[in-house]
Amino acid sequence: MPGPGRKTKATNKTTNESGSSANEIPNTQLDSFIGDIDNAEGWSPIVDILCQYFELPDISTRSGLKKVHANFESIYRRLDKAYTKNASNERVMGGIVGIYAKLSVDSLLRNKLFQKGFLERLFPLLDIPSCRHLALRALTTVTHHGGIEIRMKIAKSYLLLLRLLQDFPDDPKTVELSIVVLSHSLISTISDEGIKIDAHLGESLDLRDIVGIVTETLHKPAPSRVLVDHSVQLLASSTLHCKVPPTTVKFLVAGLRSNDWIFRCTCLGGLVRLHRNESEPDQRSLDPMKLMDCVSRPVPSHLNDILQAYGFQRSETLLTVKTAGEFQKAMMNSVSTHDLYTLGIALAGFILRTEFSISEGTFQTKNPENGRMETMDLGLPFTMWSDALPHCATAIRVKGLPATVDMADMLDMKFYIMRQRIPDAVKIAKTALKRNPDFAYAYYVLTLASDPVVGLRAAKKGIKCRNITPFVRFQMMQRAVEQAGEMGICILQESASTGDKKWEEGIAFLTSALEDSKTYISEAPPDNRHMKNVLYWNILLRITVEEEISADLREVQGSIRKLKIADDFSDWIGIPPPKTNLRLTQQTVVRLFPEATKEWGEFIGNSLAIMSQPTLSTEKVEDDLAAWLDDVHIEGKPDDHCHEPATFSSSRVELYRCSWCGNPSAILRKCGGCSKARYCDAGCQTSHWKDSHKKSCVKKNEE
């Protein structure tokens, strides 16, 4: 059937001095259309009749909306006058609200309508049985296309929508549409942007009650795809802003095993936010006194066996203690020699050995008169030990030996890191890598950059450097796990639009993080202080990514045991594991997974079938209006408000991974020879060519 407004051409309007249209149609003429409206079956024909009566252009197109822009005041005045005059005619009121909803697809028209009081016309229809679905459908369209301020205004009426959920629990359409509106409006309200606009609005919402009611609807038989998609987004977004009910947490935990990858990572994102407000910061420093005290006591027998098997000389604790002693000796020697060049070479070696290589301190002596410790002037250009780094770097550069240029840069970068001046350290690292692309420590410094894309790429490239110490390698590996994990979650949650394949890149990020975590766990010192963090990611990602996970988590018990050992090492050196956000998330998932599987396992097992459902109802009489509201030819295609099920074949992961360094990305360049290998940039391509690709590429071309 032709769309509403497509049977007639727009009539040019002229406006007289009083502001009214010269050829405005008298509303009395609407009476002649009432009979047609009363006899129409469904809302779409009603809207069609009204569009013809008001001589509206085709408001499904950009050109039609432009014509409405040109005559907005006249068109709105006629529509509003008809609405007011026919306040007792539900069909006329509903049809006019449907027209308003369609116009709201255009942001400028939407703002004008809201200024005119569109919501005041729309909300009363929710209490009229024959108009309820129409009004909710209009709200879904408005909130889907609406700006954040309009969504926040609608969020203020959340109690009305909750009442509909509670009063009509057996009306699937009312339940579905109410949740869609709640999801659209509330997520905007509690977003960072929404909080900036009005923090008090989000605080005024009874979000826990909302979350509980929405979760309960998911227990009902055969929930629709639209309901599930919007429910999980709302539940996952709410975890940062309220203490969600236990059943909701279990739903998110069980959701980690959904067949739909976007569903999985939406749940993982919600779980990661769950404990953010109660979590503790991670360990940033090491108390040398506690460390010395710990090594002066016998190592617990089970930890001693582990260190013996790994190799005491390679353990982080021993390397840190040994380096601390050598650092003290080097500083003492500098007092007598004043040889900053030799001191700088020694310090550069320490930096490549362990994280806490440069201790902070100063040369002090006791004042015999008052007994206080005072800083000594020993003729050196520094008093604080860390201040020696830039002076030593200068001494190395003065020597002018090519082999020591990287060492000088390393000292400057370490100094800036200790002073929390990361951008200055990154600037040096970028310059140094232009001179020496195999400078591992410079890549490590780039991993500290605020841009995770830059940091992850640097970590993956740095790990491949030929001249790299175990400490620097493992530092970059743990950074790669963290950055790839976080980016993967973000990409998958932001890639829910139909046809958007960027989520495949997100899976490549998670796969990369999981692979690096496995390598780190098997090769890094068992007493490494980052071992706990990597195991948190490892456990969460294995539960989320791996194909088969049992309800009792037997597949990840090895990682759980290793985490207990990592905790024991932390307790041994006097630093109990802090309750970081990731630690609490991991503990919640492991603790609740069996119960979550029992309560929500069947639902999650059917999630792919649910997400594969068509999004538009086949009930022709009423939902033809839904099709009309979604039929907008502005962006080139209709939008059904849902994402396609994100199922994935593991073989596609390699399409998003650099063939040399393994960095995940969607903008890799193909090898011009074989078109199979993919690279971050020319540097990775050159390195792979020299290492191994030359033979395979030539062979491929010969075939």
For 220-262, the pLDDT digits (tens) are 888 888 899 999 999 999 999 999 999 999 999 999 999 888 8
52-56, 204-208, 626-630: least confident range? 626-630
pLDDT for position 450: 84
pLDDT for position 47: 85
Measured distance CA(439)–CA(433) in Å, rounded: 6
Measured distance CA(441)–CA(34) in Å, rounded: 79
Question: What confidence tens digit (pLDDT) does each residue in 269-316 have?
Answer: 999 999 999 999 997 777 777 777 877 888 899 999 999 999 999 999
Q: Which single residue is written with the structure tokens 């406006």? A: 15
CATH of 288-580, one of 1.10.10.10, 1.25.40.10, 3.50.50.60, 1.20.1560.10: 1.25.40.10
For the segment 104-117, the average pLDDT, to the nearest whole number, is 86
pLDDT for position 635: 44
- Examine the pLDDT at 627 and tell me if it is beyond 80: no
Q: What percent of the chain has pLDDT over 70?
A: 85
138-142, 351-355, 358-362, 648-652: least confident range? 648-652
Average pLDDT taken over every residue of the chain: 85
- The class of domain 27-226 in CATH terms is mainly alpha
Alpha helices in 275-420 (DSSP H): 288-295, 301-310, 316-337, 340-351, 388-399, 405-418
- Examine the pLDDT at 165 and tell me if it is beyond 50: yes
In the structure, what pLDDT confidence band is assigned to residue 61 with cuts at 50, 70 and 90? confident
For the segment 77-103, the average pLDDT, to the nearest whole number, is 89
In the structure, what pLDDT confidence band is assigned to residue 354 with cuts at 50, 70 and 90? very high
pLDDT for position 639: 45
Q: Is the pTM of this model over 0.85?
A: no
- Examine the pLDDT at 595 and tell me if it is beyond 60: yes
- Examine the pLDDT at 17 and tell me if it is beyond 60: no
- Examine the pLDDT at 537 and tell me if it is beyond 60: yes
SS in 3 state form for 165-204? HHHCCCCHHHHHHHHHHHHHHHHHHCCHHHHHHCHHHHHH
CA triplet 53, 59, 60: central angle to 5 degrees? 130
Question: What confidence tens digit (pLDDT) does each residue in 334-350 have?
Answer: 999 999 999 999 999 99
Question: What confidence tens digit (pLDDT) does each residue in 361-393 have?
Answer: 887 666 666 667 667 777 789 988 999 999 999
For the chain, give every domain's residue range: 27-226, 288-580, 650-702
Distant-in-sequence, close-in-space partners of 137: CB < 8 Å, separation ≥ 6: 98, 101, 177, 625, 626, 629
CB count in 10 Å sphere of residue 271: 25
**3-class state of residue 549 by DSSP:** coil
Measured distance CA(103)–CA(112) in Å, rounded: 10
Q: What percent of the chain has pLDDT over 90?
A: 52
For the segment 450-468, the average pLDDT, to the nearest whole number, is 92
- Examine the pLDDT at 469 and tell me if it is beyond 70: yes
For the segment 434-453, the average pLDDT, to the nearest whole number, is 94
Q: Distances from the Cα of 182 to the Cαs of 138, 161, 215, 236, 238, in angstroms?
A: 13, 7, 13, 13, 12
Are 136 and 177 within 8 A, CB to CB? Answer: yes
- Examine the pLDDT at 703 and tell me if it is beyond 70: no
81-95, 255-269, 350-364, 614-628: least confident range? 614-628
Question: Of the ranges 354-368, 492-506, 533-547, which is most confident?
Answer: 533-547
pLDDT for position 426: 96
- Examine the pLDDT at 83 and tell me if it is beyond 50: yes
Measured distance CA(2)–CA(339) in Å, rounded: 89
